[in-house]
Amino acid sequence: MATMLEKRPSIVEREISVTLTCPEMQQASRGLTWASAAKTIWLFTADDFTTFVVPETAFGICAALSGPLLTENDSPELLPVLKRIPTVVLWNWLNLFIFNLANQRFPESVAEDKINRPWRPLPAGRISTIQTRRLLLLAIPIVLGLSVYLGAWEETALLYTLNWTYNDLGGGDDGFILRNVLLAIAFSQYNKGSLRVATRAGFEILPRTWWWIIITSAVIGTTMHIQDIKDLEGDRAKNRRTIPIVLGDEPARWSVAIPVMMWSVACPAFWGLGVGGYVLPVGVGSAIAWRTLRQREIAADKVTWKMWTAWTGVIWMLPLFKDYSVFVRFFQQFGSVL
């Protein structure tokens, strides 16, 4: 056992090895300007902003606007809640930034991104793995401190633990079941944190809110592997055990299409919506299911993935389909002013 431990390279040694063997990485430490550094930071999260930060922000804002359905505020005001959009975006982006730094810094991740996302900072040679690790060490306490200020430090603290489990302990690569479970738990914290930042609420979460968070987490855990269909080659390079790799392309596609259709019906049913409340989620969900099963080119899979993120945004909006009184109050007040 001692011999095996001695032969296993540390994370730092692996980072040094990649840095010394990749000419692109050797250029990363040369001539960084503030503009270049800002662009590098942005590129760590650029391709996840519209597919992650925007839907999670929508969850928090829509939940806050739904008033007594999910919060203790019986009559929320539209404009004050909308003014909190930048802070909800900031909280989500900061936590995404931590996750992506932790996820993208490993040599295996760099190899994967050279195939799937060559514009990211590490495969593009904008920053080295050692610099990325140091940036992560600096960012962790800063983001936690800002989360305390924004009112969602508890969620950030749990996300740090999940990041460690997913990335450093290999939970994201050690089988698709564990990976999906970790992602579902993580999204529960992103959703709950978004709600807290949007409402400026304390630690009291209503029972129905917990159920909605559990349901939306289940939506993620049973459908998010749609992203693995488009990332097949890169995941193979990283030796990930995703559903398309382990079970094959056909079962993977069915394992997305069926839950998407199921949740497109179950989520409106949870809120007791009328027929009109089913139109948008079922319509978008049906399009996703059809494309997943019939449109199998890589370019088509990428479009379907983006449609899935839009579909989750529709699901997150359903509380407002049930209680839209915040808009009625706003237009009544607006009309009285006119």
- Using CA atoms, how far residue 22 sits from 116, 126, 128, 129, 164, in Å, is 18, 12, 9, 11, 26
Cβ neighbour number for residue 338 with a 10 Å cutoff = 5
Element (H, E) at 135: helix 129-150
The rounded distance, in Å, linking the Cα atoms of 281 and 286 is 8
- pLDDT at residue 336 in the model: 66
Q: Which one has a higher pLDDT value, 32 or 167?
A: 167
Q: 33 burial class (0-12, 13-18, 19+ CB within 10 angstroms)?
A: exposed
275 contact partners, CB below 8 Å, separation of at least 6: none
- pLDDT at residue 13 in the model: 45
pTM exceeding 0.85: yes
- pLDDT at residue 206 in the model: 87
The rounded distance, in Å, linking the Cα atoms of 204 and 228 is 36
Q: Is the pLDDT of residue 320 over 50?
A: yes
- pLDDT at residue 3 in the model: 39
